[in-house]
A = this chain, B = another copy of it.
Amino acid sequence: MGTLSNRFDSHFLYRQISQVRSRSPLILNLTNTVVMNITANALLAVGASPVMAHAKEELENLVSIAHGLLINVGTLDAAFLESAKLAVRCAKRSGLPIVLDPAGAGASSFRTEAVRALLTGGGVSVLRGNASEISAIVDSGVKTRGVDTSVSSLSALSAAQNLSLTYGVTVVISGEVDLVVNKEQVASIRGGHSIMSRVTGMGCTATSLVAAFSAVCDSTFDAAVCSMAIASKAGEIAKENSHGPGTFVPAFLDTLYSLDETQLQIDIEVMNAP
């Protein structure tokens, strides 16, 4: 793959954050009960407006005022899955960006099948998982341990390209190096800190940010790259301002809130897909 001239410099990234801050996109979240609070707070901190809901009776109304939809299957059950499908149908009809977090795909066939069903229904614009989740969606032989990330993101690159081609989605594989994959390009983002794997919901939080940035960026690819870059950088800074995984969380939210252009020097490479 050849490296492209990189448009994701600090000026570009800061312009995207400024867009989120000034336009404050409303993001409808059908998400898991573990991370609801931190993802709502992360969306608020970055400048977006979250609404968390799941009742079928109101999803059409809520989609009609939203600028993006986030689906996260982390604590799914049959009723949640029905609501998620309905929300995706409504959002697809309205042309909203739809971001899917396959939390725990591969840990049970119920989850894996749920994620496939959501993708098959169409309309999903971005899928963000770790390497084993992404791999498991393509190959049921891959087993994951809950939402753990223990495998290199590169190992899921071909699965991601497969998913991108099959479903027309941008795929994010998060890990030590985050990869953003669509049919034409692959971006790699270096950064973050290992402490983030000792805090619940950091991946889910990044996925929520993708939904917010999808509402303001020119493309879902750009939105995914910006979100992962910003989450990584905020993680690095928060690590410096905290003493462990507990104080990391408030420091991370503080950082999302106050990030400025000088802090957005991030190691991002973009290559043409092979």
Contact A108 B244 (CB under 8 A): no
Q: How many copies does the complex hold?
A: 3
Task: Indicate whether A57 sits within 8 Å of B246 (C-beta atoms), given known contacts A52-B74, A74-B52.
Answer: no
Kindly identify, within residues 144 to 168 of chain A, every residue whose CB is under 8 Å from any CB belonging to chain B. Answer: 145-148
Nearest-neighbor residue (CB-CB) of A197 within chain B: B44
Task: Indicate whether A75 sits within 8 Å of B53 (C-beta atoms), given known contacts A40-B34, A245-B41.
Answer: yes
- A248: chain B residues at CB < 8 Å are 250
Kindly identify, within residues 23 to 73 of chain A, every residue whose CB is under 8 Å from any CB belonging to chain B. Answer: 26, 32-38, 40-41, 44-45, 49-58, 61-62, 65
From B34, B55, B111, contact of A77 by CB (8 A) = B55
Contact A247 B257 (CB under 8 A): no
Q: Whole-angstrom distance between the alpha carbons of A75 and B35 in the complex?
A: 14
Q: Whole-angstrom distance between the alpha carbons of A246 and B41 in the complex?
A: 8
- Name 13 A/B residue pairs within 8 A (Cβ), A-sorted: A37-B37, A40-B201, A44-B197, A53-B75, A55-B78, A61-B107, A61-B110, A242-B254, A244-B250, A244-B258, A245-B257, A246-B255, A247-B254
